[in-house]
C-alpha cells in the first residue's frame, strides 16, 4: 500500500512538471515575455509612455484591428483567409454615412452597419463555402469590390454630421482612462476564447483546419461552419467600422487602408498556424498588445509611419518563416 502511494506521489509531480514545461515552451508564453520586454524598453525610451492618458490613447492602435483579428483567427484555423476585412470597413462606414444623410439616428446606424457587414461576410462565405472557390482569390476580389463601391459612392468626398451620441463608441470612456473600445475589445476576446476553446463549434473549426475531408466524414457540416466564420468576420469588421468611424467622426473611402496586413500579422504573430489547424485566442490577445505597444512606442520616438509599415511586413515574414526554419533544422539534426 505504501509502495502504491509513493508511486502516485512520483507520478503527480512528473505530470505537473510536464504541464509546466509545455506552458513555458509554448509560443504564447514566449510572446508574453516579448510583451514584457517591449513594455520595459518603452518605459526607458520615453518618459511619456507611462502617462495613463497616453496609454489610454495607445489602445486605439490595436483594439479595432484586434476585434477583427479574433474572428480572422478562426477563419485561418479553419484553413481559409479573409483579405477583404478592411474593405468591408470602408463599405460599412460608407453605408452608415449615407444613412446619416437620410436622417438615421445612432441605433439605426448600428443596425445598418451590422447588416452590411454580415451581408459582405455572407457573400464571401457563399463563394468560398458553398461554391468551393479559393478564399484567397475570392477575398482579393471582394477587397477591390467593396472598396470600389465606397469610392464610387463617395469619390473624393466625405460623409460627416454623425449624431453626438454616435461618438461614444470611439471616443467615450467607461471609467477614468478605460475607453469603451478597450472594454469592447476585452469582451470580444473573452467571447471568442469561449467559442474556440470551450464549444463543439470551436473543435469543429480546428478539425476542419487539420483535415476537412476527415471532418466531413466525421459528420461536421464543413460548408456551414466556414460560412458562419465568414459571416462572423463580416460582423466584427462592422463593429470595428462603428468604432473607427465614431472615433474619426467622418467617413472616407480610404478608411482603414492596409489594415488587412496588420490583422493577418496580428493573428500569425499570436501563434495561429497560417496553414490552419491550430492556434489560440490568448495568443492573438497578447499579439495585439505587442503590436499596439510597438506602434505606440515608435510613435513616441517620432519614427515615420513608413518605417512602421516596413517593420510590420518584416514581422509577418519572420513569424511565418521561423516555424518552418525550426522544423527543417530539427529534421536535419534528427537525420
Residues 6+ apart with CB under 8 A from 112: 95, 96, 99, 104
**Where is pLDDT greater, at 332 or 184?**
184
Is residue 5 domain-resident? no
What local confidence, expressed as pLDDT, does residue 21 receive?
A: 65
Identify the domain containing residue 126 by its residue range.
50-322
Please report whether residue 242 resides in a domain: yes
Confidence of residue 247 (pLDDT cuts 50, 70, 90): very high
Residue 72: alpha-carbon gap to chain centroid? 6
Has residue 4 got a pLDDT over 70? no
Q: What percent of the chain has pLDDT over 70?
A: 93
> Is 3 domain-assigned?
no
Instruction: Tell me, yes or no, whether 15 lies in a domain.
Output: no
Distance CA 98, CA 92 (A): 10
| Angle in degrees, CA 315, 194, 312, rounded to 5 | 10
Please state which of the ranges 135-139, 203-207, 271-275 shows the lowest mean pLDDT: 271-275
pLDDT, tens only, 155-164: 888 888 899 9
- What average pLDDT does the chain have? 89
Query: According to the model, what pLDDT value does residue 14 have?
Result: 66
Q: Domain holding 57: CATH number? A: 1.10.3470
Assign 23 a pLDDT band (cuts: 50, 70, 90).
low
- 34 lies in a domain? no
* CB-side neighbour CA atoms (13 Å) of 31: 24
Pick the closest to residue 94 from 145, 140, 143, 158 (CA basis). Answer: 158
Percent of the chain whose predicted confidence (pLDDT) is above 90: 59
Q: What's the number of domains the chain is made of?
A: 1
Instruction: Assess if residue 159 is contained within a domain.
Output: yes
Element containing residue 179 per DSSP (H, E): strand 178-179
Mean pLDDT across 40-52: 87
**Is 202 part of any domain?**
yes
pLDDT score of 307: 78
pLDDT winner (highest mean) among 35-44, 97-106, 108-117 = 108-117
In a domain, 204, yes or no: yes
**What's the average model confidence in pLDDT over 135-151?**
96
Per-residue burial over 28-37, b = 16 or more CB atoms within 10 Å of its CB, e = otherwise? beebbebbee
Give the range with max mean pLDDT: 35-39, 73-77, 329-333: 73-77
Amino acid at each position: 500500500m505504501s509502495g502504491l502511494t509513493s508511486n502516485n506521489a512520483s507520478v503527480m509531480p512528473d505530470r505537473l512538471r510536464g504541464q509546466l514545461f509545455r506552458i513555458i515552451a509554448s509560443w504564447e508564453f514566449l510572446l508574453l515575455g516579448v510583451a514584457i520586454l517591449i513594455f520595459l524598453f518603452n518605459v526607458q525610451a520615453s518618459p511619456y509612455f507611462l502617462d495613463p492618458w497616453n496609454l489610454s490613447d495607445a489602445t486605439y492602435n490595436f483594439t479595432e484591428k484586434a476585434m477583427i483579428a479574433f474572428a480572422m483567427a478562426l477563419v485561418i484555423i479553419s484553413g481559409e483567409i479573409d483579405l477583404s476585412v478592411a474593405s468591408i470597413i470602408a463599405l460599412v462606414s460608407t453605408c452608415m454615412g449615407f444613412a446619416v444623410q437620410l436622417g438615421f439616428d445612432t441605433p439605426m446606424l448600428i443596425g445598418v452597419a451590422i447588416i452590411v457587414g454580415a451581408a459582405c461576410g455572407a457573400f464571401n462565405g457563399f463563394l468560398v463555402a458553398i461554391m468551393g472557390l479559393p478564399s484567397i482569390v475570392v477575398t482579393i476580389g471582394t477587397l477591390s469590390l467593396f472598396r470600389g463601391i465606397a469610392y464610387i459612392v463617395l469619390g473624393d468626398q466625405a460623409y460627416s454630421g454623425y449624431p453626438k451620441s454616435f461618438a461614444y463608441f470611439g471616443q467615450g470612456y467607461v471609467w477614468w482612462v478605460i475607453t469603451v473600445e478597450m472594454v469592447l475589445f476585452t469582451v470580444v476576446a473573452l467571447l471568442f476564447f469561449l467559442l474556440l476553446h470551450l464549444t463543439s463549434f470551436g473543435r469543429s473549426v480546428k478539425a476542419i483546419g487539420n483535415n476537412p475531408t476527415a471532418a466531413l466524414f466525421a459528420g461536421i457540416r464543413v460548408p456551414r461552419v466556414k460560412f458562419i466564420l465568414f459571416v462572423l468576420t463580416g460582423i466584427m469588421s462592422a463593429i470595428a467600422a462603428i468604432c473607427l468611424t465614431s472615433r474619426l467622426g467622418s467617413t472616407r473611402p480610404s478608411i482603414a487602408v492596409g489594415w488587412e496586413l496588420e490583422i493577418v500579422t496580428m493573428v500569425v504573430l499570436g501563434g495561429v498556424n497560417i496553414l490552419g489547424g491550430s492556434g489560440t485566442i490568448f495568443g492573438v490577445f497578447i499579439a495585439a498588445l505587442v503590436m499596439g505597444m510597438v506602434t505606440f512606442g515608435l510613435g513616441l520616438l517620432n519614427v515615420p509611419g513608413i518605417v512602421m509599415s516596413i517593420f510590420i511586413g518584416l514581422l509577418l515574414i519572420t513569424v511565418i518563416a521561423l516555424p518552418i526554419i525550426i522544423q527543417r533544422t530539427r529534421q536535419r539534426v534528427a537525420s
